[in-house]
Structure 1
Amino acid sequence: MSSNNPPANPGAGDEGGWSGPVAGLARLVDGLRRDIDPLTTLPARVDELAEVLARLSETVASIATRRNASPAPTWLLAPTNPDDTTALLDDLTAWLAAIYLRYPDGAAVLPDCWVWHPDVVEELVWLMHAWSAAYQGPAASVALAGDWHDRQRPGVVRRVRQNVGSCSVERHQTRGGRPPLTATAPAVPAHGQLAEIAAWWATARENCPPEPAGQSVNGAHR
Structure 2
Amino acid sequence: MTDERDTVVTALARSLERSHRRLGELETLVRQLAADVTSLSRSRPAPGDALTGAGDDGREPAGGGWLLAEDREAALTGMADLVEWVEAVYLRYPDAELPSCWLWHPAVVEELWWLRGAHAAAYEDSAGSWQRIGDWHDRFRPGVVKRLRAAVGGCELVLHAPGGEQAGAPSLAPLADAAANVADAWTTRRLLPEPSDPQLAAAEQHDRAQHRKANR
Distance in 2 of aligned mates of 1:166 and 1:137: 39
Deviation digits for residues 125-158 of structure 1, max 9, x if unmatched? 0000111111125321111111111111111001
* TM alignment of 1:1-222, pairs within 5 A: 48-69=24-45, 70-71=61-62, 73-79=64-70, 81-106=71-96, 109-174=97-162, 178=163, 181-182=166-167, 184-203=169-188, 209-213=194-198, 215=200
Structure 1: unaligned runs, 5 residues or longer = 1-25
Which residue pairs with 2:56 in the alignment?
A: none
Structure 2: unaligned runs, 5 residues or longer = 46-60, 206-216
RMSD: 3.7
Question: CA shift at 1:73, angstroms?
Answer: 4.7
TM-aligned CA distance change 1:180 to 1:140, over 3 Å? same
CA contact (8 A) 1:75 1:118 kept: yes
Question: CA shift at 1:46, angstroms?
Answer: 5.9
Higher mean C-alpha deviation, range 135-144 or range 118-127? 135-144
Percent identical pairs in the alignment equals 35
Q: Which amino acid aligns with 1:76?
A: L
Distance in 2 of aligned mates of 1:200 and 1:141: 46
CA contact (8 A) 1:72 1:126 kept: no
Q: Which protein is bigger by CA-based radius of gyration?
A: 1
TM-aligned CA distance change 1:42 to 1:199, over 3 Å? closer
> How many residue pairs get matched?
190
Higher mean C-alpha deviation, range 144-153 or range 193-202? 193-202
Q: Which amino acid aligns with 2:35?
A: T
TM-aligned CA distance change 1:219 to 1:154, over 3 Å? closer
